[in-house]
A and B are shown apart, each in its own frame.
Chain A
C-alpha cells in the first residue's frame, strides 16, 4: 500500500524499463526541470507584479499565484538538486 514511491511495483517496472533505455528517466527528469523553470519564471513575474503595487492588494489573483506556486516549486527543486548530485557522482565515479 504505497502510492508515493512510484508504488513499489512500478518503481521496479520503471527502473527495469529504464535500465534498458536510460533515456526515459532522463526525459522525465528533463520534463520536471522544464516545469520547474516555467513555474520559477511565472513566480518571478507574479512577484514583480506584486512588488510594483498597482491594483494588487491582499489576495488578488496575482498575489495568490505568487503564493501557491511554492507548492510546486519546492519539491521540483529537490528533484533538480537530486539530478545534479547524481550527475556529479556519476562523473566523479
Chain B
C-alpha cells in the first residue's frame, strides 16, 4: 500500500495532476504541430498553414472547454506554436529588409504571449521577468557564442550584413537580442514551459517544450539543426528552471543568432 502511494507521488511529481489521457492528448497536439511544420517545409505551404489554422482553432476550443476545470494552461500556451508559423508566413514582407521581418513578426507574437500570460494568470516573475543574479545571467549569456558557432557549421547561412562595423551591426544585433532571443525565451521558456510545468510536471514539461521548440525549426530543412536545437532547448530550459529568469537565456539565445547570422558568415 505504501509502495503504491510512493509510486503515485512519484508519478504526480513527474507529471503533475495530468492523467495518462491528458498526456496522450498533449503528444497528439505535438505530433499535429510537427506534421504541419513538415508540410510547410517539404510539401505545400498553403496546406501547412491551413493545418496550423485548424490547430489554432482546436487548441483555443480545447482550452475554453477545460477552462472551468482549471487546466487550460498548456492548451492555451500551445496556441503560440501554430500562431508563430501563421504570423511569420501571412505577413507580406517582400520588399522589406530582412532585419525588419523580425521586428514585424515579433510584435504580434509578444502580444499573443502576453495574452496567454494574462489569461493563464501568470505573474511577470513566474515567466522569468526578473533581474536577480545579473552577474550569473551575463555569464550564462556567453554560452551563446559557442552555440552560434556550432549552428553556423550546421546551417552555413548567408551573411545578413556586409561588414562588422559597429554602425552597421548594432541594429541587427539589437533586433536579434530582443525580437528572437527575448521573444522566443518568453514564449517557450517563460510561458510554454511555465504552463507545461503547471499542467504536467517538470520532467515531461522539459522534454515536451523542447520538442515543440525543436519541431518549429524543421523549416530550416536540416535534421541536424533540429537535433541541435532540441539539445539547446533542453539546456536553456534547465537553466531557466535553475535561475527562474529569462534574462540569461534570452541574451544567450540572442548571442547565438548574432554569432550565427552576423559574425560567423563574415569571418569564415
Binding site for B on A (CB under 8 A): 1-15, 17-19, 22, 24-29, 31-32, 35, 38-39, 58-61, 64-65, 67-72, 74-79, 82-83, 86
CB nearest neighbor in A for B111 = A74
What A residues does B68 contact at CB under 8 A? 58-61, 64
Least Cβ–Cβ distance between B71 and chain A, in angstroms? 12
Q: Determine the main DSSP class of A at the interface with B.
A: helix
A28-B90, A78-B108, A82-B91 given as contacts; is B76 within 8 A of A71 (CB)? yes
Binary contact track B84-119/A, C-beta < 8 Å → 1, others 0: 111111111110001001101111110110011001
CB nearest neighbor in B for A63 = B67
Taking a contact as CB atoms under 8 Å apart, the answer to whether B88 and A72 are in contact is no
Taking a contact as CB atoms under 8 Å apart, the answer to whether B112 and A75 are in contact is yes
Compute how far the CA of A19 lies from the CA of B95 in the bound complex, rounded to whole angstroms: 10
**Does B221 reach chain A (CB closer than 8 Å)?**
yes
A4-B84, A58-B68 given as contacts; is B157 within 8 A of A68 (CB)? no
What B residues does A22 contact at CB under 8 A? 94
Could you count the A-B residue pairs with CB atoms below 8 Å apart for me: how many are there? 187
**Does B49 reach chain A (CB closer than 8 Å)?**
yes
What A residues does B119 contact at CB under 8 A? 67-68, 70-71
What A residues does B64 contact at CB under 8 A? 61, 64-65, 67-69
What A residues does B229 contact at CB under 8 A? 1, 3
What A residues does B157 contact at CB under 8 A? 8-9
What B residues does A29 contact at CB under 8 A? 90-92
Taking a contact as CB atoms under 8 Å apart, the answer to whether B56 and A6 are in contact is no
Compute how far the CA of A86 lies from the CA of B119 in the bound complex, rounded to whole angstroms: 31
A7-B217, A78-B111 given as contacts; is B98 within 8 A of A31 (CB)? no
Taking a contact as CB atoms under 8 Å apart, the answer to whether B90 and A71 are in contact is no
Q: List 6 A-B contacts (CB under 8 A).
A: A2-B102, A4-B179, A4-B180, A9-B219, A17-B45, A72-B79
Least Cβ–Cβ distance between A13 and chain B, in angstroms? 8
CB nearest neighbor in A for B101 = A5
Compute how far the CA of A8 lies from the CA of B50 in the bound complex, rounded to whole angstroms: 21
Least Cβ–Cβ distance between B157 and chain A, in angstroms? 6
Taking a contact as CB atoms under 8 Å apart, the answer to whether B108 and A3 are in contact is no
**Does B36 reach chain A (CB closer than 8 Å)?**
no
Compute how far the CA of A15 lies from the CA of B87 in the bound complex, rounded to whole angstroms: 14
What B residues does A5 contact at CB under 8 A? 88, 101-102, 105-106, 179-180
Least Cβ–Cβ distance between B51 and chain A, in angstroms? 11
Taking a contact as CB atoms under 8 Å apart, the answer to whether B49 and A3 are in contact is no
Compute how far the CA of A64 lies from the CA of B63 in the bound complex, rounded to whole angstroms: 8
What A residues does B65 contact at CB under 8 A? 61, 64
What B residues does A17 contact at CB under 8 A? 45
- Interface positions, chain B 206-239, Cβ under 8 Å from A, are 213, 216-217, 219-221, 229, 232
**Does B161 reach chain A (CB closer than 8 Å)?**
no
What A residues does B102 contact at CB under 8 A? 2, 4-5
Taking a contact as CB atoms under 8 Å apart, the answer to whether A7 and B219 are in contact is yes
What A residues does B169 contact at CB under 8 A? none
Contacts A32-B87, A83-B91 aside, 15 further interface pairs with beta carbons under 8 A come to: A1-B151, A2-B257, A4-B102, A6-B105, A13-B219, A31-B46, A31-B90, A58-B68, A61-B65, A64-B63, A64-B67, A65-B60, A69-B64, A71-B119, A79-B91
